[in-house]
Amino acid sequence: MATVAGLVSILALLLAAREASAATMALYNRCGETVWPGIQPGAGKEILARGGLQLLPNRATSIRLPAGWSGRVWGRQGCSFDAAGRGKCATGDCGGALYCNGAGGAPPATLAEITLGASGSTSQDFYDVSLVDGYNIPIAMTPYHGSGTNCLPAGCVSDLNRVCPAGLAVRGGGRVVGCRSACAAYGSPQYCCTGQFGGPQTCKPTAYSKLFKQACPKAYSYAYDDPTSILTCAPGTSYVVTFCPHRR
């Protein structure tokens, strides 16, 4: 179960954000090991928290989200950095740096993605958890004090590494540490939704994406998995991104 300290930290962070009328993203590590979240902004958007940080087990932190911000968050595992912040991670590495500074994570990496709507307008926040870049760690993305009929939790909370097909598996330390997408593993247009498969009418679910979808029905399984994967909330909603949400 989640520790009392962890839950108190999250509630305190979110309540402070609500009092300040600011959208906030809380990052909560429920894994049994340290996670190094990476944060990559969308084009032209602000780099938050220098793009990366260390999060010890059962600890939480929060990041204030600028109006209209968009970007993605992922968890890096098995990282080692020197005093200057140089090193590497077993999964999700962003160029050998603690602070990703705008760089993305190397696949496979489970992604939490968000685009904020403009506060006070009729636009909405759009968010999802995506396996398009593969999978390395369970993630849940939960709105806090949000509204809307589709303002619901997103995530991939199953351990896909346990059912990852051999051709997609990434191994490290004698175990599977990540599961690549079929596109990354094989490069076929059919799996990458490119060339003659470059549209929603021609790029359909494959046996691999169906496996991902069966394990994680609330996550993007391939490039055109929009209808069952994108969620929306009213602007001003805060979000909790939890790593290893079901760990006891």
Q: Hey, what are 224's tokens?
A: 């055109």
Fold (CATH) for 4-159+224-243: Thaumatin (2.60.110)
Q: Hey, what are 69's tokens?
A: 């911000």
What are the extents of the domains in the chain? Answer: 4-159+224-243, 164-212
- For the segment 191-225, what is each residue's pLDDT rounded down to a tens digit? 999 999 999 999 999 999 999 999 999 999 998 98
Beta strand 111-115 with 70-76 is antiparallel
- For the segment 14-43, what is each residue's pLDDT rounded down to a tens digit? 555 555 557 899 999 999 999 999 999 999
Q: Which of 238, 220, 157 is nearest to 183 (CA)?
A: 220
State whether the Cα torsion 88-28-144-157 is positive or negative. Answer: positive
- For the segment 93-104, what is each residue's pLDDT rounded down to a tens digit? 999 999 999 999
Cα 75–Cα 174–Cα 172 angle in degrees, nearest 5: 35
